[in-house]
Structure 1
Amino acid sequence: MYRIGELARICNINSDTLRFYEKNALLTPSSRSESGYRLYTEKDKDTLQFILRAKGVGFTLADIRELLSIEVNKADNACADVKVLVDTKRYDVEKKIAELIRFQTSLKRLSDACCGGAESAEHCTILEALESNTDDVRHEHHHN
């Protein structure tokens, strides 16, 4: 049996993270000591490591809760149930990557449009582009 600090140390997290997972119904201590300390079994440690690995690949707490419920009732679920979760998460990540690439492209365009000189920002092309209603960023550098 592990006390909360021991389990946290073994899994390289802090005790507050363990309490957070408990609060969010992902992990429950198997028992309590006579003095009220949370006690965890080897199975609880395995569950915690499952949670940490799932979190490490981007699953949300809700996703992890669902994965854990499938894990507990493997016989009542199909591989397809798990695959749908993974594919949905992958699609979400791909959308975020595409959005980040759009941000990167827009920021590069803004940066390239500015001379970056020491002159006043009164005619700064970056500020002008952000103030305008168009998505076009002028690619001209201002020089006074």
Structure 2
Amino acid sequence: MQKQKHATQRGAASTAIPDKLYFRIGEVARLCKVQSYVLRFWESEFPQLKPNKSGTGQRLYRKRDVEMALQIKHLLHEEGYTIAGARQLLQSEGREARKAHNSQSELPLRAELAGLKKDKSEVRLQRLRKELKELLGMLSVSPAPIPHDRKSRKTTPIERPNLFGE
């Protein structure tokens, strides 16, 4: 798989692409040395090749679209891939690239999240320590002496609430 990636990249890099923002389909066809209808067909077969369209409906390829067209041509004409095989290879390369990009962009976020979790845990621990100290303080206060004799206890009648207007 690694060998194929390098081969596809070499094929795309062998043609010098002018430094422009947009290319028309005829320009891309000349760069790729294929007919315009071939590019239109590749657009229908490869979701990675998706040029913009102008207000008049003309296809406007970006530099990355030209590179993709060159890569597709290399896979089909030089490497001998079928259209389905080339599509599958390009999709798997795209997934791997996205996965690598996502894992790289997630690293700072994961570190920040770990720091926030740590801060939250520390705050929670401090709050729990404070509550425990308060409870310990309540327990260390000596309670009022408890009479050992039942007769010496005073009983206070409990007032019943007036629930039904009696």
Does 1 or 2 have the higher relative contact order (CA < 8 Å, sep 6+)? Answer: 2
Larger Rg: 2
Compute the TM-score of the two structures, normalised by the length of structure 1: 0.49
